[in-house]
Amino acid sequence: MSQDSPALRYVRYDSARENEYVAAMRQLISKDLSEPYSIYVYRYFLYQWGDLCFLAMDDKDEMVAVREEFRGQGIATKLVRMAIDAMTERDADEIVLETEITNTGAMKLYERLGFLRSKGLHRYYLNGNSAYRLVLYLKEGVSAIRTAFDPFAPPHPAHMEAPAVPLPGNGGI
């Protein structure tokens, strides 16, 4: 960190400070994300999984998550690692997220932390940009399990039926 940067504390989301946190998060995230999320989306995720939300706060309790002038200092890496650790403690099998293909900083961060590109999502965002679905497998063997039905994916070998082959004696030959 530069000498001008304030000392940071990493804290878990506190629902008692919801109004303060949500307003700041919405302002910061709306500036950089391509999706125009409503306040209800933020609150839904915080009510459901607030214990998986981590914040970087400076000594004035201002959120810096992660403003442009604070990037490149390892803040996002630490926040993502904290979330991964929390999900591991909750016995998650995998972590799945999407990020815009043009967001090379996020792609590098997630891939450096072990996420794998599992699928390209053409025109995924409302602005028309495409995305990658990234997966981090937290348990041995989870990547071999088909986790979601995708009607456009090639069939899994275990689910393919053998082709009908005419055999002698069954009317085929």
C-alpha span between 14 and 51 (Å, rounded): 8
| Domain segments of the chain as ranges | 1-73, 93-141
Helix 104-112 with 75-89: angle, nearest 10 deg: 50
The predicted model gives 20-45 an average pLDDT of 73
Phi, psi of 92 (to 5 degrees): -70, 145
pLDDT tens digits for range 135-145: 999 988 766 55
Q: What's the pLDDT band for 63 if we cut at 50, 70, 90?
A: very low
Predicted local distance difference test score (pLDDT) of residue 3: 46
Predicted local distance difference test score (pLDDT) of residue 9: 80
